[in-house]
Chains A and B, each alone.
Chain A
Amino acid sequence: MSTVAAAHDDHDHHHAPTGLKRWLFSTNHKDIGTLYLWFSFAMFLAGGFMAMIIRAELIEPGMQFVDPEFFNQMTTVHGLTMVFGAVMPGFVGLANWMIPLMIGAPDMALPRMNNWSFWILPFAFAILLSSVLLSAFGHGNPSAPNFGWTFYAPLSTKYGPASTDLFILSVHMMGISSIMGAINVIVTVFNLRAPGMTLMKMPLFVWTWLITAFLLIAVMPVLAGAVTMMLTDRHFGTSFFDAAGGGDPVLFQHVFWFFGHPEVYIMILPAFGIVSAIIPTFARKQLFGYASMVYATASIALLSFVVWAHHMFTVGMPLAGTLFFMYMTMLISVPTGVKVFNWVATMWRGSMTFELPMKWAITFVILFTCGGLSGLMLAITPVDFQYHDTYFVVAHFHYVLVSGAVFTMFAAAYYWLPKWSGVMPSKVLGELHFWNSLISVNLLFFPMHFVGLAGMPRRYADYALQFADYNFWISIGGFWFGLSQLFFLAVCLQCALKKGEKAEAKPWDGAEGLEWEVPSPAPFHTFDTPPVVK
């Protein structure tokens, strides 16, 4: 590959910004990436705290801690915070940091827009979370959004609390932020690749993010449309979703899930990219089937536009429609399977070591496969009539989102923290974080399969007695998992404060890629002169 003159960071063209202004007015992809990552982690803890309240209430039958109304607010805002606040910005943060480094670009293509797309987010979440604070300290009245993160009409329109308007505004802002972030990724990848970095030489993380960015641009406007229709239904006398005015509540679900299903892949495709970077590094063996990985990612993305109604099998669709969506959904497991097989084949006859990033990555492959297989079960429509809206679904999407998306972000953090901070993450804290998370996440989510199959509907503030035993253990797993994340907080602080063993430019001996050719920590400006990729 190329050689990079480390001397570049010395002749800084700009005066080095410091203090608050460094962060507020930043146009530097690394600083903005850092902001995104800290924001994402803060939202992860906030959303996690709400999950703790949910699990506290569900630890035994009966209503002990919160009102069912407040319970619904918690499930709703937990979902919104995790999806839009933790997972999506987390991956945008990783994209900001890593895409320019991986393709040999000096920065993102549109740095000012980059700044804006981040700084919208804290305001969007201040608006959303203000309603929760008002609700929590105002004894449940006024209410925060309480209609589930899927905000089905008419529960969110005619019956929504006043704070629904805050929610709509904040979703609009998140959407603007996501679209700008996506445009930035696309423009950067298409225009700023180093000479010789052809598309089919790009690291898979860049590929998956490129495809994700197209998904974002395609579906975020659909979400914006859905919330705008809600807004006009609520205040301007339209009846998009109100049957009494000639509208259609099911239309809402079609529009929402036309956004919502690609959204699911927006949250997992970058994860595939991260794992495809880490496994070859620690197996010391080239990624198996690079081209088929790219094609599989693209097919998953395309298929994601024709499966949305599998979230709505019980709304009473015509038989032909139901069959179509069942077949398409089952089809998605083929390219997903290809990915899993490729990762296994990459490990096969490699020379593996199990540093922290690799531990998280292998855990991802196994637990994501669990989530994928329960996803295949959910695709079988007649059985979905039983599974739908039970804890089985909750188990499924937490397996793919927590032990899927979130675990790869941990993997990415342990993998690239040396590059970001210049110090190695603490092994002791990291191991504690990993093993506690691994055990507790399964205690937390695996029994959810059982209560779901046994018939416990999701979003239930209280439940029948036969679900009590598993729920107790699920709650214990929940608190354990929640507390385990404090180890990660300690790791992040340790690296941010630059305490610990100094990292080399390439701390992992099997790693490949341009990002390892700049020093650790990566200097403020990199690749002012593009490297040449051969």
Chain B
Amino acid sequence: MQSTLFHRMAVGLTSLMISGLATASDWAERSDHNLRPGVTAVAQEIHGLHNTVLWIVSIIGLLVFGLILISVIRHRRSKHPTPATFHENIFLEVLWTIIPFIILIAMAVPATRVLIELDDTADSELTVKVTGYRWRWGYEYLTYQDDNDVGVSFISSLATPPEQYENPVLSGGLFPYGTAKDRVGAPSQDKDHNYMLEVDNPLVIPSGQKVRFLVTSDDVIHSFWIPDFGGKKDAIPGFVNETWALVPEGQEGTYYGQCAELCGKNHAFMPIEVKVVAQSEFQEWLAQKKEEAAAAPDLTPFESLDAAMEVGEKVYAGQCALCHGQNGEGGIGLAFAGSDFATKSEHLEEHIHVLLEGRNAMPAFKGQLTPKEIAAVVTYERNAWGNDTGDLIQPEDVHEEE
């Protein structure tokens, strides 16, 4: 710890000194102290508006602080022993009511113009439905140009491995660490450049075409925010909000964003990664995705319990451990280790059903995982951590339940 802190201090000092000079081009280094200039026209207008307003308030602030400073220096008792007696001045009072009012109007006009522009979601070429889940994003491509039934969807989760972010120094008591207790004192891995921003399946959109996002949520309120696209939109269960982005051609690249509305435990762990590609490349990618989606689900049975367990362990770590604990000890979600639910045979069908359809705070995984993955993870939950039921669930069982 000690050396890291000293390191931080040194880096912090240096960065404070040179922060005005940093002009690196990638997301992680490009801006650590001011609003990002943005890549879409709207984002750039917002950035311009931000600069204007920042100048105005800075000047007002400096003016007021300057007056206070002058007063503090010149009107102290040692310099100015007899106080003046004025305590009213109608002219001044009216003046400093009207001037701010005029400044406000000057700011409101451009703000209104940008707001109206932002509100116009018409004439988009691609429509993507964005769904917030605790704690991952789902993307569903609805329409693209003349194709009104694209039918491509996938889930996008944090790709930073726990080895990089779980570095506990204490294991309980007043500072509970919960699931990562067994990692206490373990050496922490170096953090990736895009730590806490990288995902497994990024959203892919074309450049030069207006993309409309329909933003909603499956559970609590999230907020879909990509700073370079200019602003955020809340993802609210039961509502569909609209927003849009048009990344100009020539600005292809990877853009990052994060969830901006507190959504529970892993609020900080559900980033957004967008790959903006040229239109031809996008069409190729979309065609390939459509092909994959059209293929029948893989229902080949697992050869052995071990084979299913191997797949299940991975799925569990990626999707379930957040709530149910890395060792099935429970947490926000039900405990599996030694529980009736995961060991008694009368609960087997229910177990599969809850995974598919969800229950209360447990999200439905039907669209997120393949039948094969669901079969594997149910098998894993019923055999790991000493549950040892011997139940081997096959993809076909899950498919029937669907």
The interface of chain A, by Cβ under 8 A from chain B, is 53, 59-70, 72, 135-141, 146-148, 152, 154-155, 158-159, 242-244, 248-250, 283-290, 292, 314-316, 319, 322-323, 326-327, 330-331, 333-334, 337-338, 340-341, 344-354, 362, 365-366, 369-370, 373-374, 376-377, 380-383, 385-386, 388-390, 450-451, 453-455, 457, 459-470, 472-473
Residues of B within 8 A of A381 (CB): 111, 115
Contact among A70, A285, A347 for B68, CB-based, below 8 A: A347
Q: Given contacts A65-B168, A386-B46, list 11 more A-B pairs with CB under 8 A.
A: A65-B177, A139-B178, A147-B264, A319-B119, A341-B64, A349-B86, A351-B82, A377-B53, A386-B232, A454-B34, A464-B196
Which chain A residue shows the least CB distance to B9?
A472
User: Number of contacts between A and B (CB, 8 Å)?
Assistant: 359
> How many chain-B residues does the 8 Å CB contact rule pick out?
122
Residues of B within 8 A of A59 (CB): 5, 8
Q: Could you tell me if B68 and A67 are in contact, using CB atoms closer than 8 angstroms?
A: no
Residues of B within 8 A of A314 (CB): 223, 231-234, 260-261
Q: Distance (Å) between the CB of A478 and the closest chain B CB?
A: 14
Q: Distance (Å) between the CB of A367 and the closest chain B CB?
A: 10
A137, B83: Cα distance in complex, Å: 59
Q: Could you tell me if A386 and B50 are in contact, using CB atoms closer than 8 angstroms?
A: yes
Q: Distance (Å) between the CB of A477 and the closest chain B CB?
A: 12
Q: Which of B96-104, B283-291, B294-302, B364-372 contacts A (4 or more CB under 8 A)?
A: B96-104
Decide if B186 is an interface residue (CB 8 Å cutoff).
no
Decide if B167 is an interface residue (CB 8 Å cutoff).
yes
Q: Could you tell me if A457 and B75 are in contact, using CB atoms closer than 8 angstroms?
A: no
Q: Distance (Å) between the CB of B46 and the closest chain A CB?
A: 5
Q: Could you tell me if A385 and B230 are in contact, using CB atoms closer than 8 angstroms?
A: yes
Q: Could you tell me if A457 and B260 are in contact, using CB atoms closer than 8 angstroms?
A: yes
Contact among A61, A135, A250, A285 for B236, CB-based, below 8 A: A250
Contact flag A154-B77 (CB < 8 Å), given A68-B269, A459-B262: no
Which chain A residue shows the least CB distance to B7?
A60
Q: Could you tell me if B237 and A454 are in contact, using CB atoms closer than 8 angstroms?
A: no
Residues of A within 8 A of B231 (CB): 314, 382, 385-386, 388
Q: Distance (Å) between the CB of B26 and the closest chain A CB?
A: 10
Contact among B80, B172, B266, B361 for A351, CB-based, below 8 A: B80
What sequence of 0s and 1s flags, for each residue 237-267 of chain B, a beta carbon within 8 Å of any chain A beta carbon? 1110110000000000000101111111111
Contact flag A72-B262 (CB < 8 Å), given A314-B231, A386-B35: yes
Residues of B within 8 A of A137 (CB): 173-174
Q: Could you tell me if B72 and A362 are in contact, using CB atoms closer than 8 angstroms?
A: yes
Q: Could you tell me if B68 and A344 are in contact, using CB atoms closer than 8 angstroms?
A: yes
Q: Could you tell me if A466 and B29 are in contact, using CB atoms closer than 8 angstroms?
A: yes
Q: Could you tell me if A376 and B57 are in contact, using CB atoms closer than 8 angstroms?
A: yes
15 A-B pairs (CB sep. < 8 Å): A67-B178, A67-B265, A155-B263, A285-B87, A315-B236, A349-B80, A349-B83, A351-B76, A366-B65, A377-B53, A382-B114, A451-B33, A453-B34, A461-B267, A462-B196
Q: Could you tell me if A66 and B176 are in contact, using CB atoms closer than 8 angstroms?
A: yes
Contact among A380, A461, A465 for B268, CB-based, below 8 A: A461
Contact flag A53-B175 (CB < 8 Å), given A248-B238, A285-B87, A350-B83: yes
Q: Could you tell me if B179 and A454 are in contact, using CB atoms closer than 8 angstroms?
A: no
Q: Distance (Å) between the CB of A334 and the closest chain B CB?
A: 5
Q: Could you tell me if B108 and A344 are in contact, using CB atoms closer than 8 angstroms?
A: no
Residues of A within 8 A of B264 (CB): 72, 146-147, 155, 159
A464, B27: Cα distance in complex, Å: 10
Residues of A within 8 A of B77 (CB): 284, 351-353
Which chain B residue shows the least CB distance to A292?
B93
Which chain B residue shows the least CB distance to A152?
B221
A457, B196: Cα distance in complex, Å: 12
A80, B238: Cα distance in complex, Å: 28
Q: Could you tell me if A286 and B178 are in contact, using CB atoms closer than 8 angstroms?
A: no
A123, B236: Cα distance in complex, Å: 35
Q: Could you tell me if A349 and B84 are in contact, using CB atoms closer than 8 angstroms?
A: yes
Contact among A283, A315, A334 for B100, CB-based, below 8 A: A334
Q: Could you tell me if B11 and A68 are in contact, using CB atoms closer than 8 angstroms?
A: no
Q: Distance (Å) between the CB of B4 and the closest chain A CB?
A: 6
What sequence of 0s and 1s flags, for each residue 181-209 of chain B, a beta carbon within 8 Å of any chain A beta carbon? 00000001001011111000000000000
Contact flag A344-B265 (CB < 8 Å), given A135-B176, A315-B234: no
Residues of A within 8 A of B265 (CB): 67-69, 72, 146
A82, B378: Cα distance in complex, Å: 45
Which chain A residue shows the least CB distance to B188?
A62
Residues of A within 8 A of B259 (CB): 457
Q: Distance (Å) between the CB of A296 and the closest chain B CB?
A: 9
What sequence of 0s and 1s flags, for each residue 1-44 of chain B, a beta carbon within 8 Å of any chain A beta carbon? 10011001101100110010000000011011111100000000
Decide if B331 is an interface residue (CB 8 Å cutoff).
yes
Q: Distance (Å) between the CB of B322 and the closest chain A CB?
A: 10
Residues of A within 8 A of B223 (CB): 314, 388-389
Residues of B within 8 A of A465 (CB): 28, 191, 193, 195-196
Which chain A residue shows the least CB distance to B261?
A389
Q: Could you tell me if A380 and B262 are in contact, using CB atoms closer than 8 angstroms?
A: no
Which chain B residue shows the least CB distance to A243?
B238
Q: Could you tell me if A454 and B33 are in contact, using CB atoms closer than 8 angstroms?
A: yes
Decide if B385 is an interface residue (CB 8 Å cutoff).
no
Residues of A within 8 A of B334 (CB): none
Residues of B within 8 A of A331 (CB): 104
Among B217-233, those with CB < 8 Å from A are 219-221, 223, 225, 227, 230-233
Decide if B71 is an interface residue (CB 8 Å cutoff).
yes
Q: Could you tell me if B87 and A288 are in contact, using CB atoms closer than 8 angstroms?
A: yes
A27, B168: Cα distance in complex, Å: 51
Decide if B92 is an interface residue (CB 8 Å cutoff).
yes
Contact flag A341-B234 (CB < 8 Å), given A139-B176, A464-B197: no
Decide if B88 is an interface residue (CB 8 Å cutoff).
yes
Decide if B391 is an interface residue (CB 8 Å cutoff).
no
Q: Distance (Å) between the CB of B198 and the closest chain A CB?
A: 10
Decide if B293 is an interface residue (CB 8 Å cutoff).
no
A337, B269: Cα distance in complex, Å: 41
Q: Could you tell me if A344 and B71 are in contact, using CB atoms closer than 8 angstroms?
A: yes
Which chain B residue shows the least CB distance to A390?
B260
A354, B78: Cα distance in complex, Å: 11
Q: Could you tell me if A388 and B260 are in contact, using CB atoms closer than 8 angstroms?
A: yes
Q: Distance (Å) between the CB of B225 and the closest chain A CB?
A: 7
Q: Distance (Å) between the CB of B381 and the closest chain A CB?
A: 19
Residues of B within 8 A of A62 (CB): 164-167, 188, 191
Q: Distance (Å) between the CB of B22 and the closest chain A CB?
A: 9
Residues of B within 8 A of A473 (CB): 12, 16
Residues of B within 8 A of A370 (CB): 61
A66, B167: Cα distance in complex, Å: 10
Please indicate which of the listed interface residues B173, B262, B361 has the most CB atoms of chain A within 10 Å of its own CB: B262
Q: Could you tell me if A466 and B28 are in contact, using CB atoms closer than 8 angstroms?
A: yes
Q: Could you tell me if A243 and B237 are in contact, using CB atoms closer than 8 angstroms?
A: yes
Q: Could you tell me if B360 and A158 are in contact, using CB atoms closer than 8 angstroms?
A: yes
